[in-house]
């Protein structure tokens, strides 16, 4: 009906000849009062009369809704069938899509309350799940086998722990999705198997789409279970563990790359704990002039300006939300060279996590040396990720080399450095290294201000002091530029002229003209 929110009731069906018509009849006609409803059945290659049974009821006057029945000539699997239905919902501009099973395991009578709950939910709500575990005793009363009940509880507890969620169950197939939430996640990359339901929960969680749960009755009849329990449990735990590791940038899979980075917030501040930011803040004295190349979110530059009265000029490809605190900000792509910064000299030049993002770090360092060599007492502070970090070494030992959103193997990194290669890059560009140190991993991003996190930080610091090339997450170098050959030649000529003028006339005339 025109003007009403559009709802697609999507029924996945396989070998459901005896149940599909009953499921259709149980869908409340009252849905049509508040939603423009269409029912979609996708028969996943059934060898029985599931397709014909759906068509028969649709051609009668028994249904108050539009019915579309499709057939997969090749079985796509439980997850693959869902992908097609969600694509149909997005393509046909539905507002919501409700998932039902053709075997009648989930009560269609509960559809209105689930859909209305999502319609009336806050804007960040991406789905409403019908849960059989909000009232666990009801699940057993409804006929859920004990082994499934126990398995559901154990798997859900582990998954909540890994993903930081608080769902009562991960394994309900009764779901209503907002199609705007489905557009934000790459559900098409998910498995075709039964753990599709877990993978889509992970995606919604990473995309910060809230999942709301609502109690539903449990019904187990004579339907045939087509799930291999052990294989399903293994796949569910594997996907959840991969997602857990991806949160810490130790694993990367495009399926779970759902978190959008806001402009100006690409790389978060690390001033609050032991890190490159806090260490550089300690190194920079008050009342000096600082050029911050690749200033990122601007937290370090803003802190130097506000707390140490430094004059800071920031340079980055986009303005950050803190760049207003800088004395000056220049929008520039460092891959195209260091921009004009007003003809002024600086006491400190920061290049924190910059060189690994450039197509030619060598050219950048050469240009930086040429620029800073003429500045009296200029110091360069540069950092980069240490690809020799123990976690990366272990990954290689296991045959993995995983890029991610952040970390040493950030997807935007073009070059990778160890301690030795980073030192060598600066030396070959004409810098003298004054100080080199290792920086611990940003564990507070993982564990927060917990006691466990504090203990791990202490351990990490001890290991970095013991062997930075292996246990340091990043390498920090303080250097100064050597004079260029042109500067050395000019100095030699000036010194020769001064010495010549101090010699007796006969000796002075013996030099080169």
Is residue 139 scored above 80 in pLDDT? no
Q: How confident is the model at residue 225 (pLDDT cuts 50, 70, 90)?
A: low
Least confident of 212-226, 255-269, 293-307, 419-433: 255-269
Is residue 184 scored above 60 in pLDDT? yes
- Radius of gyration of the chain, Cα coordinates, nearest whole angstrom: 32
pLDDT at 61: 66
Least confident of 31-35, 100-104, 132-136, 366-370: 132-136
Is residue 264 scored above 60 in pLDDT? no
pLDDT at 320: 81
Rounded to the nearest integer, the mean pLDDT of the chain is: 89
Question: Which letter does DSSP use for residue 410 in this model?
Answer: B
- Percentage, residues of the chain above pLDDT 90: 63
Report how far apart, in Å, the C-alpha atoms of 178 and of each of 96, 97, 124, 307, 499 are.
5, 7, 10, 46, 83
Using CA atoms of 469, 470, 471, 477 in order, give the dihedral in degrees to the nearest 10.
20
pLDDT at 263: 47
Helix (H) or strand (E) holding 494: helix 485-502
Domain 6-256 has CATH 3.90.550.10: yes
- Give the Cα separation of 357 and 349 in Å (integer): 17
- Give the Cα separation of 394 and 448 in Å (integer): 24
pLDDT at 72: 96
HSE-up (13 A, CA, CB side) for residue 189: 14
Average pLDDT over residues 356-370: 95
Q: How confident is the model at residue 105 (pLDDT cuts 50, 70, 90)?
A: confident
Is residue 224 scored above 90 in pLDDT? no
Average pLDDT over residues 480-486: 92
pLDDT at 398: 84
Listed by start position, the domains of the chain span: 6-256, 276-482, 489-513
Q: Domain 276-482 has what CATH class?
A: alpha beta
pLDDT at 353: 93
What are the tens digits of pLDDT across the range 43-61? 999 999 999 999 888 777 6
Q: How confident is the model at residue 126 (pLDDT cuts 50, 70, 90)?
A: very high
Could you tell me which residue, 109 or 512, shows the higher pLDDT?
109
Is residue 450 scored above 80 in pLDDT? no
Query: What are the start-end ranges of the E strands in 257-319?
Result: 289-293, 311-316
Q: How confident is the model at residue 499 (pLDDT cuts 50, 70, 90)?
A: confident
Average pLDDT over residues 318-323: 83
Residue 201 φ/ψ, nearest 5 degrees = -65, -45
What are the tens digits of pLDDT across the range 198-211? 999 999 999 999 99
Nearest CA-CA partner of 327 in 357, 290, 355: 290
Using CA atoms of 344, 348, 352, 354 in order, give the dihedral in degrees to the nearest 10.
40
The stretches of 451-484 forming alpha helices (DSSP H) are 451-466, 468-471
DSSP labels, 353-396? T-GGGSS-HHHHHHHHHHHHTTSTT-EEEEEEEBTT-HHHHHHH
**Contact yes or no for 66/95 (Cβ under 8 A):** no
**Contact yes or no for 198/206 (Cβ under 8 A):** no
- Percentage, residues of the chain above pLDDT 70: 92
| Burial class of residue 103 in the structure, from the number of CB atoms within 10 Å of its CB (0-12 exposed, 13-18 middle, 19+ buried) | buried
Average pLDDT over residues 271-299: 91
pLDDT at 325: 87
Q: Quick one: tokens of 68?
A: 């579309």
Nearest CA-CA partner of 8 in 73, 77, 95, 71: 95
**Contact yes or no for 357/294 (Cβ under 8 A):** yes
């Amino acid at each position: 009906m025109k003007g009403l929110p559009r709802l697609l009731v999507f029924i996945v069906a396989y070998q459901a000849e005896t149940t599909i018509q009953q499921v259709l009849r149980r869908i409340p006609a009252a849905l049509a009062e508040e939603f423009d409803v269409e029912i979609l059945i996708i028969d996943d290659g059934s060898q029985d009369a599931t397709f014909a049974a759906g068509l028969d009821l649709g051609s009668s006057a028994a249904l108050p809704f539009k019915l579309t029945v499709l057939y997969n000539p090749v079985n796509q699997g439980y997850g693959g069938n869902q992908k097609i239905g969600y694509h149909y919902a997005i393509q046909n501009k539905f507002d919501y899509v409700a998932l039902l099973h053709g075997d009648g395991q989930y009560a269609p009578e509960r559809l209105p309350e689930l859909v209305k709950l999502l319609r009336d939910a806050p804007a960040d709500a991406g789905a409403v799940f019908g849960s059989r575990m909000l009232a666990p005793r009801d699940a057993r009363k409804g006929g859920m086998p004990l082994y499934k009940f126990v398995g559901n509880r154990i798997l859900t507890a582990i998954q909540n722990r890994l993903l930081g969620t608080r769902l009562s169950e991960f394994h309900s197939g009764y779901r209503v999705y907002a199609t705007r939430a489905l557009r934000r996640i790459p559900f098409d990359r998910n498995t075709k198997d039964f753990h599709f339901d877990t993978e889509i929960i992970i995606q919604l969680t990473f995309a910060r789409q809230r999942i709301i749960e609502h109690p539903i009755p449990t019904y187990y009849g004579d339907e045939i279970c087509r799930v291999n329990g052990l294989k399903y449990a293994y796949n569910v735990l594997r996907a959840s563990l991969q997602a857990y590791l991806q949160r810490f940038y130790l694993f990367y899979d495009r399926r779970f790359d759902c978190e959008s980075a806001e402009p100006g917030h690409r790389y978060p501040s690390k001033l609050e704990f032991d890190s490159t930011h806090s260490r550089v803040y300690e190194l920079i004295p008050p009342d000096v002039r600082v050029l911050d190349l690749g200033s990122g979110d601007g937290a370090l530059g803003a802190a130097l300006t506000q707390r140490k009265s430094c004059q800071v000029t920031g340079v980055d490809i986009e303005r950050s939300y803190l760049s207003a605190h800088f004395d000056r900000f220049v929008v520039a792509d460092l891959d195209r060279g260091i921009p004009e910064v007003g003809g002024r000299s600086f006491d400190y030049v920061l290049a924190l996590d910059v060189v690994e993002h450039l197509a030619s770090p060598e050219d950048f360092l050469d240009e930086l040396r040429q620029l800073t060599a003429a500045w009296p007492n200029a110091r360069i502070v540069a950092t980069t990720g240490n690809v020799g970090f123990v976690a990366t070494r272990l990954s290689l030992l296991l045959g993995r080399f995983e890029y991610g959103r952040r970390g040493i193997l950030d997807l935007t990194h073009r070059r990778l450095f160890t301690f030795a290669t980073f030192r060598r890059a600066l030396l070959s560009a004409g810098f003298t290294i004054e100080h080199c140190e290792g920086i611990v991993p940003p564990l507070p991003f993982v564990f927060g201000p917990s006691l466990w996190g504090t203990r791990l930080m202490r351990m990490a610091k001890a290991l970095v002091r013991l062997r930075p090339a292996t246990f340091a997450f990043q390498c920090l170098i303080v250097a100064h530029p050597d004079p260029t050959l042109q500067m050395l030649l000019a100095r030699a000529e000036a010194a020769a002229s001064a010495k010549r003028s101090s010699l007796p006339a006969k000796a002075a005339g013996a030099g080169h003209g």
